[in-house]
Chain A
Amino acid sequence: MAAPASAYKDRQFLAVIGDEDSVTGLLLAGIGHVTQPPDSQKNFLVVDSKTDNAAIEEAFNRFTTERKDIGILLINQHIAERIRHRVDTYTAAFPALLEIPSKDHPYDPEKDSVLRRVRRLFGE
């Protein structure tokens, strides 16, 4: 099934929701982008223990549904865990949602929403 070109052709940025270290590293790689003022929106969100889940969810919604220029959304797995219901029900192809490990939380394939879909497809 061919997705219409409008669904992805403007998607050229990566977005990230992560802890400080992950975000810093990814920004160093050069993915950081701030849109033109006045509504200068960042494409990254730093989450620490003080950030509440509503803020994470809001950022998640902004990156996945509101903004049309995000191609890939990276999210730390332990943060995805905090809004798991939202992540698990996300099934759209664009932007691609990727759960990444963080320094303090090694990657656990069992929790990954996509890998779980893979397993379900094979009936495991």
Chain B
Amino acid sequence: MSGAGNREAVFPTRQSLGLMKSKLKGAQTGHDLLKRKNVSEVIYHDPILPGISSYEITEITRRIDEAKRKMGRVMQIAAFSLAEVTYAVGGDIGYQVQESAKSARFRVRTKQENVSGVFLPAFESYTTDGNNDFGLTGLGKGGQQVQRCRETYARAVETLVELASLQTAFVILDEVIKVVNRRVNAIISEHVIIPRTENTIKYINSELDELDREEFFRLKKVQNKKQRDTAAQDAEMRLKRDAAEKAEAASGSTSSDKENELGTGDILGESEDADVIF
């Protein structure tokens, strides 16, 4: 029997055959779609399919979580130091600072890190030299606080940059996982679902054929038997008819007289009982 090894547990009926056929069709269509997307997205862009373990994901998310908490603390400290500046300078420096911003001193550089086959971007902060915007802020008073505040905020921003790297890595990994999942789905449907469905269809077909043959054989048997029966009946009837004809032809009275005499004789004989003497 074909496909006995790997097939679905179904009863071999025409209904399940129809079901299986539509399932196979669906699987093939889905597989084609998955494959088409995959070829363009994964295989050509990224020949080394990453073996990202769930461990790495957990590690990254744990670090994101940690970094976000750290950010909360750092930003709080920074906000406090800004409050110190406001107090020392004796007024709001916001406007002044905003107006004097011209060229970024603090910048980021993006580079890629290879994490088990996936290129993850990482931000790296750097400061450009000789670019000191807020030279006059806090000139009158509170210059020291301003300086300290700048340092605090610079450190805070460094933390933020670190966090941004992690987060971007997560976003990209998330994408990669989706693609990998698709690929896995495609492979599964190619190597598991489609062959199994095909096997099931083969099995159902062979079983149905077998049933057909059995049915045909049975019908033949029935027919044979019927023919035999009719033949036997005919023969019997013929025999009977022949016998009847024969009997009619030789309709002698002797046989019936003999029977009668025997009958009466018997009856007479019965009456010949011993006399009963009183």
Contact = CB atoms under 8 A, between A and B. Distances in A.
Interface of A: 1-3, 8-9, 11-14, 20-34, 42-44, 46, 71-72, 74, 91-94, 96-98, 100-103, 106-107, 109, 112, 114-115, 117-118, 121-122
5 contacts: A21-B94, A29-B153, A31-B104, A93-B172, A96-B167
Interface string B155-180: 01100110111011011101111010
Given A25-B82, A32-B133, A33-B101, A3 B121 contact: yes
A93 B118 CA distance: 14
Nearest to B105: A30
Interface in B175-197: 175-177, 179
B160 A100 contact: yes
Interface of B: 41-42, 45-46, 57, 61, 64-65, 68-69, 71-72, 75-76, 78-79, 82-83, 92-94, 97-98, 101-110, 112, 118-119, 121, 123, 127, 131, 133-134, 137, 146, 149-150, 153-154, 156-157, 160-161, 163-165, 167-168, 170-172, 174-177, 179
Nearest to B50: A1
B161 to A, nearest CB: 7
A107 B167 contact: no
A28 B112 CA distance: 29
B121 A94 contact: yes
B131 to A, nearest CB: 8
Contacts of A9: 110
A13 B71 contact: no
B68 A14 contact: no
B107 A12 contact: yes
A101 B72 contact: yes
Given A24-B94, A28-B146, A96 B153 contact: no
A115 B112 CA distance: 23
B123 A71 contact: yes
B123 A23 contact: no
A114 B171 contact: yes
The residue among B45, B75, B110, B179 with the most chain A CB atoms within 10 A of its own CB is B110
Given A100-B75, A114-B167, A115-B64, A30 B46 contact: no
Contacts of A46: 94, 98
A91 B171 contact: yes
Contact of B82 (A1, A13, A24, A114): A24
Given A24-B94, A91-B171, A96-B123, 8 more contacts: A8-B121, A20-B94, A25-B78, A30-B105, A93-B121, A103-B82, A106-B76, A122-B61
Nearest to A109: B68
A14 B108 contact: yes
A8 B110 contact: yes
Given A21-B82, A72-B108, A94-B121, A1 B168 contact: no
Given A23-B94, A29-B106, A42 B61 contact: no
A92 B174 CA distance: 11
